[in-house]
Copies of this chain bind each other. A is one copy, B any other.
Amino acid sequence: MSDDVRRVIRSPRGTELSCQGWQQEAAYRMLHNNLDPEVAEHPDKLVVYGGTGKAARDWPSFDAIARTLQGLKQDETLLVQSGRPVGVMRTHEWAPRVLLANSNLVGDWATWEEFRRLEALGLTMYGQMTAGSWIYIGTQGILQGTYETFAAVAAKRFGGSLAGTITLTAGLGGMGGAQPLAVTMNDGVAICVDCDPSRISRRIEHRYLDVQASSLDEALRLAVEARDARRPLSIGLLGNAADVLPRLLAMDAPIDVVTDQTSAHDPLSYLPLGTAFEDMRDEAAKDPAGFTQRARESMARHVEAMVGFMDRGAEAFDYGNSIRGEAKLAGYTRAFDFPGFVPAYIRPLFCEGRGPFRWAALSGDPRDIAATDRAILDLFPENESLARWIRLAGERVAFQGLPARICWLGYGERDKAGVRFNEMVASGELRAPIVIGRDHLDCGSVASPYRETEAMLDGSDAIADWPLLNAMVNVASGASWVSIHHGGGVGIGRSIHAGQVAVADGTELAARKLERVLTNDPGMGVIRHVDAGYDRAAEVAAERGVPIPMADGTPR
């Protein structure tokens, strides 16, 4: 079966069960959905997104997981070790139906080199964040986060809108492909560089990107025209960012915001200068060490140009792909002169337990998402930016795989939404259950010193107890599946993070589980930031009643 590369995987729809209950069914459908050709970047290789983020170790493992889920009872739990099903344990009805651990290595061995060696031996897989935890919903997931980030950039520097500004970025992959639409949703102009022509045409096809420029000069001309007309426009440009950015800098291009989402976290996936895109895979395979070195040197030139734009007044930020770290490894000393996006824009949201709350309709019916959209607008009428997002998303976002929605909600909000969805399933207002999960990029589920926990107030960036407590608390609260991952986003050795998914199947038990999971999970974000000394988090904890044993501020 492993050679059956043309297999097409798609989630079942409707109310007929393949499994013994909706919790198992939800895992079964979301595993399949992660590999839907509309959702996954390379479904034939089980790769969902983010470089080589996979949903299962290999096809035999995929089949064994699916088969085991079909037979799994209401008090059993399937264990998945880096995409391979390794056991079934008898637990109880409040316990998760699946527990997953992906890509975890002991610290001294936590390098890409060792990881790749073990992966080649068939002993592990790269789970990224929502790939190996079966809750990727296509580019909409990152679209919302990217929308939030650019909205925060606009609020900080440009009076609340990107109208009349030009953003320069690269990378139109699974995550980076959200950038052009996020910028235009904020009324700005974006130039987006990618070296892979298929990525550009795919983003145009999905209406995330407006046009492709045939040359650097044309891209700049289109951008300036649109900017001057205060007209949103996104422009794709084929090229190597390590070449294009320095040239734009030399041309003194009027860039207001500069960032990047190439796959810099994995040097074997970043196209070095001097290599043709077509030869990239071969060269990387032939000489991984040499390729890595050349990729890093190119990243250094790339980052140097970003710093150049910053020096000329642009808002520059690292968008979580480790490009600063890699550039520094190549000897570029100013690599960390611009900040990561989290301390710059996202942390204030984390202090309120805010983060990417997402859900999918297991019915497969887009009307179920439309109904939940209305429910969200009803529940939080005072939140304008949320309302604007829900409206624009309804208009602009094409579903990939099962219909799904995402929006950022905080402590005290997520549980309300979850319980409401569950009522809607119970009443028949929705056609089938809803699964509710999130990215691992969340307020209290990740330790990642180059991204989510960069520059914590108390210096606790590298403390990894928090994601582990997050995973355990989700297991203890009634989530349907829970995962602990290593190396997502920023790469092996650089992050530890946890995920949870809970199922609103309309039962009373599900309501109680959802209430707890969707309170405790964002609650981890609040207590993590209280502990680190953020005043806003302490306020939120006090106002909303998050119990903290040492909230009296006992000194350390």
Residues of chain A at the chain B interface (Cβ within 8 Å): 57-58, 60-61, 64-65, 67-68, 77-79, 81-82, 84-92, 94-96, 99, 101-111, 114, 118, 121-124, 447-449, 458-466, 468-469, 471-473, 475-478, 482, 484, 486-487, 492-496, 512, 516, 519-520, 523-524, 527-528, 530-531, 546-550, 554-556
Instruction: Given A87-B523, A549-B64, answer yes or no on A484-B466 (Cβ-Cβ < 8 Å).
Output: no
CA gap between A454 and B154 in the complex, in Å: 53
Distance between Cα atoms of A524 and B91 in the complex (Å): 13
Return the 4 tightest CB-CB contacts between A and B, nearest first. A107-B110, A122-B556, A109-B462, A101-B465
Q: Is the CB of A550 within 8 A of B492?
A: no
Contact of A468 among B89, B104, B459, B547 (CB under 8 A): B104
A547-B88 in contact (CB<8A):
yes
Query: Does more than half of chain A's interface fall in helix, strand or loop, or is it mixed?
Result: mixed
Contact A96 B549 (CB under 8 A): no
Q: Nearest chain B CB to A95's CB is how many angstroms away? A: 4
Determine the chain B residues whose CB is within 8 A of the CB of A77 once the complex forms: 473, 476
Known: A121-B459, A477-B91. A449 touches B64 (CB 8 A): no
> Hey, which chain B residues are within 8 Å of A468, CB to CB?
101, 104, 468, 471, 484
B449 and A109 within 8 A (CB) = yes
**Copies of this chain present:** 2
A61 to chain B, nearest CB (A): 7
- 23 CB contacts below 8 A, A to B, read A60-B554, A61-B554, A68-B549, A81-B531, A84-B550, A91-B476, A92-B478, A95-B476, A96-B472, A99-B472, A101-B469, A104-B447, A104-B463, A104-B464, A104-B465, A105-B107, A106-B449, A107-B107, A107-B110, A118-B462, A121-B460, A468-B484, A472-B472
Residue among A106, A108, A111, A494 with the most chain B CB within 10 A?
Answer: A106
Query: How far does the Cβ of A64 sit from chain B's closest Cβ, in whole Å?
Result: 5
Known contacts: A86-B549, A91-B520, A448-B106. The answer to whether A484 contacts B472 by CB under 8 A is: yes
**Bound complex: CA A469 to CA B462 (Å):** 22
Question: Known: A60-B550, A475-B475, A493-B108. Is A124-B91 also a contact (CB below 8 A)?
Answer: no
Q: Are B463 and A123 in contact (CB under 8 A)?
A: yes
